[in-house]
A and B are shown apart, each in its own frame.
Chain A
Amino acid sequence: MIGVLAVGLAAGIVAGLLGVGGGVLFVPGLAIFLGLNQHHAEATSLLAIVPVAILGTYRQDRYGNVRRADALLLGVLSLAGAAGGVALANALSGVILRYAFAGLMVVVAVQLAHRSLASKHVAHLGVEDTVAEHQEVDQRHEHGCPQIDELRGNAEH
C-alpha cells in the first residue's frame, strides 16, 4: 500500500520533470506492489496516466510550453495506433509482454542517459526564451516565410 503510493508519487515527479516516466513506473509499481498481472498492470496504468497527463498539461500550458495545435493533431492521429497496440498486447502472453516491457525500460533508461549526457539537448532555455521562441515560430507559420515575403516586398519597389 505504502509502496504503491510512493511509486505513484515518484512517477508523478518524473512525469512532470522529464515528460516520461508516468507509465514506465506505473506498470512495474502495479505489478510488484499490487500483484496485478502484466496485462492488467498495463491497462490500469493507462487509466492512471490520464489524470496525471491532464494536470501536467494544464501546468505546462500555463508556462506557455504546450503547442496546442500539434498536440491535438498528434492525439487524434494516434488513436488507430493505440487500438492496434492494445489488441497486440492482448494477443501476446504475459511473460513475453513482461520481458518486452523490461526491454522498453532499458531503452528508455539508455535514451534518458544519452539525452542528459549530450549537453546540447539539455541546454535548457529559460521560460521567457521559450515563450519568445514560440511567438517567433507562430509568426513564421502565420506569415509563411518572412524572408520570401521580404524579397517580394523589395521586388515590388
Chain B
Amino acid sequence: MQVAAEHWRYRRCKLATIGTLAGLFSGLFGVGGGSVIVPLLVLWLGYDERAATATSLAAIVFIAGFAAAVQGLYGNVHLLDAVLIAVPALVGVLIGTWLQQRLQTRLIALLFSALLMASAVELVLK
C-alpha cells in the first residue's frame, strides 16, 4: 500500500506541474494549453494519445474559463466576436470528435502542422 500511496503523491506532483505550466501558457497566449498538457500526460503519466487529448479538453474548460474571466477584468474580451467564432467551432468539434474515432489522424496532423507554419509566417509579416 505504501507503494500505491507514493505513486499517488508523484502523480499529484506531476499533475500540479502540468497544470501550472498549462495555466501560464494558456494565460500568456490565449490558447487552451492542450499543446502543453497532451505531450506531458503521454510522457509523464503514460496516457495513450486518445485519453490524453480527452482529459486535456476537460482541464481546458477550467483553465480557459478562468483565464477569460481574468482577461475580462482587463477589459480585453469581445463577447460578440467570441460568439461569432465559437458557434461554427462547436459544429466543428462534433465533426472532429466523430472523425477521431474513425480516422488515422496522422495525415490530418501533418496537414494541420503545415497550416500552422503558414499562419505563423502570416502573423509575423502582418
Report A's interface with B, CB cutoff 8 A.
1, 4-32, 34, 36, 39-57, 59-61, 63, 65-68, 70-90, 98-113, 115-117, 121-122, 124-125, 127, 130, 133-134, 141, 144-145, 148
- A7-B85, A18-B112, A100-B29 known; A43-B76 Cβ under 8 A: yes
Total contacts A-B at CB 8 Å? 423
| B70 pairs with A82, CB closer than 8 A | yes
| B85 pairs with A4, CB closer than 8 A | yes
- A14-B96, A28-B122, A42-B29 known; A55-B48 Cβ under 8 A: no
| A53 pairs with B60, CB closer than 8 A | yes
Smallest CB-CB separation from B27: which chain A residue? A85
User: Complex: how many Å from CA A12 to CA B93?
Assistant: 4
| A26 pairs with B63, CB closer than 8 A | no
- A59-B97, A85-B26 known; A26-B85 Cβ under 8 A: yes
User: Complex: how many Å from CA A36 to CA B84?
Assistant: 13
The majority secondary structure among interface residues of chain B is helix
- A49-B60, A84-B24 known; A43-B72 Cβ under 8 A: yes
Show 28 A/B contacts (Cβ-Cβ < 8 Å), sorted by A: A9-B92, A10-B92, A18-B53, A18-B109, A19-B52, A43-B78, A44-B82, A46-B71, A48-B82, A52-B93, A60-B53, A63-B101, A67-B47, A71-B58, A73-B12, A73-B16, A75-B63, A78-B23, A80-B23, A81-B26, A82-B27, A82-B66, A83-B70, A86-B70, A109-B116, A115-B109, A122-B105, A130-B51
Report B's interface with A, CB cutoff 8 A.
1, 3-4, 8, 11-12, 15-16, 18-35, 37-39, 41-42, 45, 47-68, 70-72, 74, 76-79, 81-101, 103-110, 112-114, 116-117, 119-124, 126
When distances are taken between beta carbons in the complex, the residues of chain B under 8 Å from A141 are 4, 8
When distances are taken between beta carbons in the complex, the residues of chain A under 8 Å from B62 are 72, 74-76, 78-79
